[in-house]
Amino acid sequence: MRHSFRRDMIIGAIAVTALVLLPLVWPNKAFIDFTIRGASFALFATSLNLLVGYGGMVSFGHGMFFGLGAYSFGLLMQRTGMSIPAAFALTIVVTAAVALAVGAICVRLKEIYFAFLTLAFQMFLYSLVILWVPLTGGDQGLRGGIPRPSFLGIDLADQRQLYIASCVLLVGGLILMHHIVESPFGYTLRMIRDNATRAAFLGVEVFRIKLVAFVLAGIFGGIGGVIMSLFVSGAYPEFANWTMSGEAVFIVMLGGISTFFGPVVGTVILLLLNDVVTRFTEYYGLTLGAIILLFALGLRRGLTDFLLDYWRRSPWVLAAAKRGR
């Protein structure tokens, strides 16, 4: 386990270095914006895949943590004037606490109940955001910008530095989540997904493992929300709306649930798709809905699932397997 963690760290360091150096060679504002948004969504979607792909828990309310991360970070920065790292840490505590409370009620339930109940809790959060106008600004969102004071010589109001910070958070978050799914805990989670009854017979505390997974997913989803609120310098009700969860579920399915990087691939595809679709038509829902149906009814699995299947069935791999035997 330690070896794989070290290897992850080295690959991560290389990835961060490459991402940081890229704009020096290719200064492109659109690319920088795209990557910041991508980092936010990729963390959010990968955290959902912890539940869907590894835990077999299809949450349809994961957007609540995205919204919660964005709003609590934005409010802390606007109201208390604390430093960015302090607000970041406190936001993690807040999302973890909410995830613990919601998870304690939801994770016992069967899958379809689980999906709908998480959605119901998200809509509760959404209605709070809309109704509690003095705190959240209602349907206008948190306006007036989020102050982004410098800390340790880092100024996140500067788009280039925010880009670097987002890359570090993305890669760091992915390494941590990869470590989680490759740990004994991650394998226990897979066992529960495949056969919860047998896991319970083997002495696994199913409820506790599922709850921990729910809280961890909530935390990383919240970090995605923090990046987004830094990027737009605000927080809007859409962040907490159900469409956010729908998009995350679609990203996870689009990319594929059987590989760790599936949701990252899905994020890149969906963001590119968004940019193209909104450029050509105002009927975003109609187009996106049709594409979703194409994937769900046509391909019936994610892109990386499809490629993985194709790879495993290719004559070359089959021949290699035969030779190995």
Partner 1 sequence: MDIASLVSCFGSAACVVTQVTSGLIIGMLLFLVAAGLTLIFGVLKVINFTHGSFYMLGAYFALTIFKLSDSYVLTLFGAAFGTALVGLVFERLFMSRVYGQNMLMQLLVCYGFILIFDDVVKIVWGAEFRSMGMPALFQVPPIFVAGGVVPPFYLFLVGVTVVIGGLLWLVIERTRFGKIVRAVAHNPSMVSVLGINTGILYGMVFALGGLLAGFAGALAAPVRSLTPGMGFSILIESFIVTVIGGMGSIVGAFVGALLIGLIRTFGSVGFPLFTEGLMYLFMVLVLIAKPTGLFGKEIA
Nearest distance from residue 128's CB to partner 1, in Å? 7
Stretch that binds partner 1, among 77-85, 118-126, 149-157, 219-227 (CB under 8 A): 118-126
Q: Which is nearer to partner 1, 154 or 291 (CB)?
A: 291
CB 180 within 8 A of CB 216: yes
- The Cβ of residue 95 has, within 10 Å, a number of other Cβ atoms equal to 27
Binder of partner 1 out of 11, 100, 109, 196 (CB under 8 A): 109
Binding partner 1 (rule: CB under 8 A), the pick from 170, 215, 249, 268 is 249
DSSP-derived letter for residue 299 is I
How far is the C-alpha of 260 from the C-alpha of 173, rounded, in Å? 13
Give the 3-state secondary structure of residue 246. Answer: helix
* Number of other CB atoms surrounding residue 232 within 10 Å: 18
Nearest distance, CB of residue 294 and partner 1, angstroms: 9
- Count residues binding partner 1 (CB under 8 A): 43
Query: Is residue 234 classed as helix, strand or coil in its secondary structure?
Result: coil
What sign for the dihedral angle of Cα 8, 251, 70, 61?
negative
Q: Determine which residue in the list 13, 128, 202, 319 makes contact with partner 1, applying CB under 8 A.
A: 128
Q: Does 299 engage in binding with partner 1 (CB under 8 A)?
A: no
Q: How far apart are CA 201 and CA 203, in angstroms?
A: 5
Tell me: does residue 250 bind partner 1 (CB under 8 A): yes
**Closer residue to partner 1, CB minimum distance, 116 or 261:** 116
Q: Which stretch binds partner 1 (CB under 8 A): 167-175, 208-216, 243-251, 266-274?
A: 243-251
CA 257 to chain centre: 13
Q: Are 128 and 122 in contact (CB under 8 A)?
A: no
Residues that bind partner 1 (CB under 8 A): 52, 58, 60, 105, 108-113, 115-117, 119-121, 123-124, 127-128, 131-132, 242, 246, 249-250, 252-253, 257, 283-286, 288-293, 295-297, 300
